[in-house]
Chains A and B, each alone.
Chain A
Amino acid sequence: MPTFTQIGSAVSVGVSGATSIDFTSIPATYTDLLLKVSVRSDRVAAISDGLLLKFNGSASTYSDRYLQGGGSGAASSGTSPFGTTRIYTGEMNTNGSTASTFSSFDIYIPNYTASTNKSLSSDSVMEQNATTAYATLVAGLWSTSAAITSIQLTFSNSTTFVQYSTAYLYGVSNA
């Protein structure tokens, strides 16, 4: 039976916000990683903003496919507009959306120390008292043999994650 162990410390963004959240020196003692994130960005021009991820500070050899529904209109699917530089994991609430709402992300990274390409799956949903709120599924790939030792979370159109955004990293054993 798998066990989940919190790695490092929980991140809770303070009043001044944060431009990125980095988990570094990730120990190689687990089978898989699970990142649980609740975030909102300071973008005001739109209701949502992309949550992006990088491993080991690398800005290359990423790819992803997403499937997204907005609660109105047809669902969409495709590849992220961020090319190979980062993995797109879904849409988060912004300061252009309903006040005090945050988006939830579960990002699962199996076999993060293996010498094969690294995959991830992301399952996310926005919270919004309006017509449109995105739910997104993403399959991502980092084509490298290096073990994952750090993870960085950023966004596509903002400058900061706002206060009360949180991030927790778990190591999964016996997965």
Chain B
Amino acid sequence: MESQMPNPTRIEVNCTTGEVLEIKLTDAEVAELAYQAELAADAKAEEDRIAAQRAADRAALLERLGITADEAALLLA
């Protein structure tokens, strides 16, 4: 039988009383955490995709022009 992992905890410090609580996350909070991680992963994947596309476009352009990256940098300096 598959055992279910307990929900993780968060730490909360009450700055007025000094009390420190370790609070178990609700199912909704766990779902929100997973959703936010998914959004961040999607954003990072999109960023990586754009960077890879830009690098490929740049390499293709240099190839077409028949110059190196250093020579291109000289032209733009």
Asked if A and B are interacting partners, one says yes
- Report A36 CB to chain B, min CB distance, Å: 14
Whether the pair A18, B18 counts as a contact (CB closer than 8 A) is no
Instruction: Please tell me if the beta carbons of B9 and A19 are within 8 angstroms of each other in the complex.
Output: yes
Given contacts A18-B9, A19-B10, contact A25 B17 (CB under 8 A): yes
Q: Is A71 interfacial (CB 8 A cutoff)?
A: no
Q: Summarize A's interface: helix, strand, loop or mixed.
A: loop
| A96 close to B (CB within 8 Å) | no
A21 is contacted by which of B10, B15, B19 (Cβ under 8 Å)?
B10
Tally of A-B Cβ pairs under 8 angstroms:
73
In the bound complex, residues from chain A placing their C-beta under 8 Å from that of B13 are: 8-9, 11, 21-24, 169
Within the assembled complex, what's the spacing in Å between the Cα atoms of A17 and B33? 15
Contacts of A81 in B (CB 8 A): 40, 43-44, 47
Distance (Å) between the CB of B55 and the closest chain A CB?
A: 13
Chain A contacts with B in 108-150, Cβ cutoff 8 A? none
**Nearest CB in chain B: distance from A9 CB, A:** 5
How far is the CB of B3 from the nearest CB of chain A, in Å? 16
Contact B15 A19 (CB under 8 A): no
Q: Is B65 in the interface zone, CB < 8 Å from A?
A: no
B11 with A22: CB separation less than 8 A: yes
- Within 8 Å by CB of A9, from B9, B20, B37, B44, lies B20
Tell me if B25 counts as interface (CB < 8 A to partner A): yes
Considering only residues 150-175 of chain A, those with a C-beta below 8 Å from chain B are 154, 156-160, 169
Which A residues fall within an 8 A CB radius of B? 7-9, 11, 13-14, 16-27, 50, 81-82, 154, 156-160, 169
